[in-house]
Chains A and B, each alone.
Chain A
Amino acid sequence: MSVGNNDLRGTSKRRTILKSLLGVSLAAVLSPILYVAGRYLGYVKGSKNGDVMIAQSDVSAEHPSKLINIDDQPVLVIFQPDKGVRAFTATCTHLGCTVSYQPEMPQFYCKCHHGRYDADGVNVEGTRPKKPLTELTITAKGDQLDISLKPKTKG
C-alpha cells in the first residue's frame, strides 16, 4: 500500500515538474514574439530634430504670431517687442490642444481648458497646465529663420 502511495506521489511530482517545464518553454517562445510585436507597434513617426525655414518678415509687430508645422508638431513663432522672434512648442502640456498667442496680454492661451502660459511659456499657476511650453532654437540665415525642434539652450 505504502509503495503504491509513493508511486502516486512520484508521478504527481514528475507531472508538476513537466508542467513547469512546459510553462517555461511556452514563456520562452512567447516572450520574444511579444517583444517583437511591442517594438513594431511602438514605432513613432518623425524625429525630434526636424526644422522648417520661414521668412523673417513672416513674424513682426504687425503679425506677432505664426503657427507652423514641424514633423507634424505645431510650433508657434512669435514676435515680442522686447525679445524679438521666439519659437515655442504649441502643444498644451495639459492635454495636448494647440495653444494660441495673445500679444496684448502677452500670454499663451489654450482654449480647451483655459490653460495659460506667460510670455516666456511658463505655465500660469492656478490654470490647468503643470509644465511650461518648450522654447525652440531659431537660427537666422540671411532673411530666413531656421526654426528647429531642438530646445533652445538656456543662457
Chain B
Amino acid sequence: MNEQPKISLIDALHLRQTYDAVKAKTVPHHRASIWYYFGGLALFFFIIQVVTGILLLFYYEPTTDTAYKSVQKIVTQVPFGWLIRSLHSWSANGLVLMVFVHMFSAFIMKAYRAPRQMMWVSGVILLLLILGFGFTGYLLPWDETAYFATKIGTEVPKALPIIGESVSSLIKGANDVNGATLTRMFALHVGVLPALSILLVLVHIGMIMLFGSSSPPGMKVTGETRYFPNYLIKEMMVWLLGFAILICVAVLYPWGIGHAYDLANPTEPPPGIHPEWYFMFLFQTLKIVPEWMVIIGFGVVAVIWTLIPWLDKRAGNNKKSPVFTIIGIVAILYMCVMTTWAYISVSQEQKESPASRQEKNSDSTNVK
C-alpha cells in the first residue's frame, strides 16, 4: 500500500538541475560557429592525455637511473607501448594547439563578455596549466634534450631581481637539475597539475552548460541546434576525425627518444637545442630581450590577458570592439613571427655546428 514513488537515477544523484540545463542548452548557428568545435577538440585531447598518461604510469619509473630505461622499455618491449607514448606526446601537442585556437577564437569572437567573464579566467588558467604539463613532462624521459631544455627553462627565473634564485631552486628542488628535479617534475606532472586541471575543466564545462555558447556581437544568428543529443553527436564526429588524424600521425611519426643523459658523465648540449614549438616564441623573445624584461613583460601581459573581459567595455555592452580584435590579431602574428624566426635560427645553428656534421657521418644509437 505504501508504495514509494519511483525516483530516476538523475534525481537520486541530485543532478536534475544539471540535466535540465544540458537539455535546454542550444548552440547558435552563424558564419563563425565552426570555431565552437575547437573547445570540444581540446577537451577530447585532454581526455586522451589522461588515459594514455595513466597507461604510461604503469611502466614509467621516475628516477635518474631508471627513467630513460623505462621509457625505452615502453617503446621497445611492451606491446603497443610505442603507440601509447606516441599518442601521449602527439596529443599533448594537439591539445596545446587546440587550446590556442580555442582561446584566440573566443577572444576574437568576444566570448569573454558578461556573463562569461569567469569562463575566460578559468580558460586562461587552464592554458597556463597545460603549458605547465608540457614543461614538466618534457624532462621525464631523461634524455639529453629533456635535461638541457629543463636546465635552460629553470634558469630563466634567476634573472628576476631578489627572488630569482629562490624561484629557480624551488622549481628544481636543488641547485642544479638532478634527481630531485625529476621527482619534482613527476609529482607536478602526474599529481598537482592533473588535480587542478581536471577541477578547472569541470568548472569550465559547467559554466558553458549554464551560460550557453556566446554569439559574437553584431553577427546574424540564423538558427540554433539543441546541444543534447544533436550537437553532441556532431561534436563526436569531429572528435572521431581528430582521433583519426592523431592515430595516423602517431603511427607514421612515432615519438622518438634521444640519447640518455648521464649525470655522472656530463656532456655538452646537442646542437640547436630548443623547446617544444609552443614555447618557441618565448625562446626567441629571450634571445633578443633581457630575461628579467621578458619575465616581467609576459607576467604583465598574462594579467592583462586575464582581465580582458573587464577591460573590453564595448564588447561588454554587446557592441563591436575592433581595438580588441586588432590586439588579438597582433598577439597571433607576434607568436607566429617569433616562432618562425626561432625555427629558422635553430636550423641555422644545427647546420653550422661541427657536431652535427660529425654526427651525420657516424651511426647514431638514437631510438628515433
Contacts and interface: CB of A to CB of B under 8 A. Distances in A.
A37 B78 CA distance: 11
A108 to B, nearest CB: 33
B240 A41 contact: no
Contacts of A29: 240, 243
B55 A41 contact: yes
B55 A39 contact: no
Given A41-B55, A41-B58, A36 B80 contact: yes
Counting chain B CB atoms within 10 Å of each CB, which of A29, A37, A40, A42 scores highest? A40
B21 to A, nearest CB: 25
Contacts, number: 23
B240 A40 contact: no
**Which DSSP category, helix, strand, loop or mixed, fits chain A's interface?**
helix
Nearest to A35: B80
Counting chain A CB atoms within 10 Å of each CB, which of B58, B78, B243 scores highest? B78
Interface residues of B, number: 12
Interface string B63-86: 000000000000001111101100
Given A29-B240, A37-B55, A43 B78 contact: yes
B304 to A, nearest CB: 42
Contacts of A40: 55, 58, 78-81, 84
Interface in A35-71: 36-37, 39-43
B322 to A, nearest CB: 44
Interface of B: 55, 58-59, 77-81, 83-84, 240, 243
Interface of A: 29, 36-37, 39-43
Closest 6 CB pairs of A and B: A39-B79, A43-B78, A36-B80, A40-B80, A39-B80, A43-B79
